[in-house]
Amino acid sequence: MFILVNLKAYPCDPIEVATAARDVAEESGVRIAVSPQAADISRVADTGVETWAQHVDPNGHGSHTGSTLAEAVAEAGAVGTLINHSEKRLKLADIDGSVQAAERADLETCVCANNPAQIGAVSALGPDSVAVEPPELIGGDVSVATADPGIVTDAVDAAANVDDDVDVYCGAGISTGDDVVTAEELGASGILLASGVAKADDPRAALEDLVSGL
């Protein structure tokens, strides 16, 4: 299982989380990555933790004020990027463009979607992975794997029907090792989570719990 920790714009210490994630990954052998604010990518990557961007724009270099370049986040140390997160929705053409921009910069891609139908659609764009997240469960304390297990199994089927090579992650409300094991049993090969670590009093303990059943 891959554990991708999105720090969103939470007021946590990205270096504290990154250092804990690096150590827990090393100790457990579980792949863990941290996705900080773009401005923090460089110093998070310097900790040695696998580092992802939260978003990249479809454009390359040029007259694009305010854009987040795939090339720039890769240069800063990111090795992957989220695209079309529920809190950073894009038009279909821009999702396609962002996947292509990320691939040009050698970034691994994870395209987020609300439901299995959207998972099927974005799987056709050729990302490395997709993540299904029901918006109403994001930031809550009930895991998608418990509240709506069918959405995970249907997302796995939807992606496989389009492209067997696309990994399927799930997210929303995941905070415990039991949640991770349940997601794995439903066919997910990774989880995307945020508040369970970024808002935890002890991020290291939260990460240790997440990997405890793997």
Q: Which of residues 2-21 bind ligand G3H (CB under 6 A)?
A: 6
Looking at the Cβ atoms of 70 and 180, the one nearer to ligand G3H is 180
Question: Closest approach of Cβ 71 to ligand G3H, in Å?
Answer: 23
How many Cα atoms sit within 13 Å of 138 on the Cβ side? 18
Residue 41, amino acid: I
Q: Which of residues 144-163 bind ligand G3H (CB under 6 A)?
A: none
Would the annotation count 193 as a binding residue?
no
139 lies in the site for ligand G3H, by CB under 6 A: yes
57 lies in the site for ligand G3H, by CB under 6 A: no
Render 93-159 in DSSP notation, one character per residue. HHHHHHHHHHHHTT-EEEEEESSHHHHHHHHTT--SEEEE--GGGTTSSS-HHHH-HHHHHHHHHHH
Would the annotation count 86 as a binding residue?
no
SS3 87: coil
113 lies in the site for ligand G3H, by CB under 6 A: no
- For residue 85, indicate whether it is catalytic: yes
196 lies in the site for ligand G3H, by CB under 6 A: yes
Alpha-carbon span 99 to 22, nearest angstrom: 26
Which of 50, 133, 136, 208 is catalytic? The answer is 133
Residues facing residue 131 across a β-bridge: 112, 169
172 lies in the site for ligand G3H, by CB under 6 A: yes
Which positions are annotated as active-site residues? 85, 133
Contacts with ligand G3H by CB under 6 A lie at: 6, 85-86, 133, 138-139, 171-174, 192-196
